Structure 1
Amino acid sequence: MYAMQYRFTLPADYDMEIIRHRVRTKGHLLDDFAGLGLKAYGIRERGTDGSPVNQYAPFYLWADQEGMNRFLTGEGFRGVVRDFGRPAVHNWPGLYHRPGPAADRVPGSFTQRTQPLPEGSDVPTAIEDALAGHEKLATTDGVHTTALGLDPRRWELVHFTLWADTAPESAGGERFRVLHLSAPGTGRLGAGRQW
């Protein structure tokens, strides 16, 4: 499993209905994309849920690297680049994935939190602690899906959780609203730790 995200921070007065329309008309195009576990079409709006910015920031969980590569070098991503410019694409090897009690519902939001692993910290212990947190989170009412990834370049963990409704403030991190979920291969993402 691989987690992936790119973000477009938009002007403060940007009409976010443009993004909503884009997702309504094009979101379904990845509903059967081979190799994709799920894609959450996420947005943040300035002044909503504590967001300081308008942002379009889809988050992906890929079942295999081939699907991710095919997407990044294919026509769909070419359209994103044409309309918004070429973004930095962050990706993380997956450490953990599990559906939650609300996996049968359409998610309304997701949270994303980055956890630095400072020089001198015990990385295996930090990962085990994070895994235990995700195991507990995966049983929480309202959780659709939770996942954990590792950035070994910057030594950070990324925590990603889809919520059936609005993400609780207690979840921490950045909160995004989900406009659409493409989930053709969630069954191929595995369940639990990824090694």
Structure 2
Amino acid sequence: MHAMQYELTLPADYDMDAIRTRVSRVGQLLDDWEGLGVKAYLVRERGIHGSPVNQYAPFYLWNTVEGMNTFLWGGGFQRLSDDFGRPAVRQWTGLAYEEGAATGSPALFAVRRRRRVPDGVPLAEAVREAVDETARLAREDGVVLTAAAMDTSRWESVHLSLWEHGTPKAEGDLFRVLHLSAPGRAALPGGRQW
């Protein structure tokens, strides 16, 4: 599993209905994308749920590098770049994936938490904590799915959890899920990724 995300931080007065309209128009284009496990079309709006910014920040879980590369180099990402400029794309190596207690429910909210691994902390310990947190979150009421991954260039872990309700029991940035493309969700390997 490979995780990927880019963020478009938009002006404070940006009409976020433009993003909602965009997602309603193009969201289904990845509903059958080869190699994609899940794409969550995420937004947060300034002043809502404590967000300091307007942001469009899709989060991807890929089953294959080929699917991810086809998206990045084969046209899918180019449409976004043409409209908004080319954002930096963060990538993480998968650590763990779990279906949640509310696996059959629609994902309406997401929590994303990024955390640096402090110098001096053994990597095995940091990874074990991330895997354990993924398993813990999967058992929480309202969790649709949860995943953890690591950026080894920054030694930073990321957790993503999707929720059926807006009162998640997880720390991090809270987003609305506008659409969920999940063509390869069933193929995402569960549990620890090694």
TM range (shorter): over 0.9
Tell whether 2:164 aligns with 1:164.
yes
C-alpha distance in 1 between matches for 2:190 and 2:100:
10
User: Where in structure 2 are the equivalents of 1:72-151 lying within 5 Å?
Assistant: 72-151=72-151
Is 1:179 aligned to residue 161 of structure 2? no
Q: Are 1:110 and 1:177, in contact at CA under 8 Å, matched by a contact in 2?
A: yes
CA distance in 1, matches of 2:75, 2:88: 17
TM-score, normalised on structure 1? 0.97
Name the Cα RMSD after superposition.
0.9
Question: What SS class does the counterpart of residue 171 from structure 1 fall into?
Answer: coil
Q: How many correspondences in the alignment? A: 194
How far residue 130 of structure 1 moved from its aligned partner, in angstroms, is 2.0
1:189 aligns with 2:174: no
Aligned-partner Cα distance in 2 for 1:17–1:27: 14
Is the Cα contact below 8 Å between 2:148 and 2:159 reproduced in 1? yes
The alpha carbon displacement at 1:80 in A equals 0.3
Gaps of 5+ in 1: none
Question: Which whole-Å CA distance do the structure 2 matches of 1:64 and 1:92 have between them?
Answer: 13
Do the aligned residues in 1 keep the contact of 2:95 with 2:130 (CA within 8 Å)? no
CA contact (8 A) 1:111 1:167 kept: no
* Structure 1 residue 173 displacement after superposition: 0.7
Counterpart-to-counterpart distance in 1, 2:60 and 2:167: 18
Which runs of structure 1 show a deviation greater than 4 angstroms over 4 or more consecutive aligned residues? none
* Paired letter, 2:3: A
Partners of 1:141 and 1:127 lie apart in 2 by 24
Question: What residue number does 1:24 align with?
Answer: 24
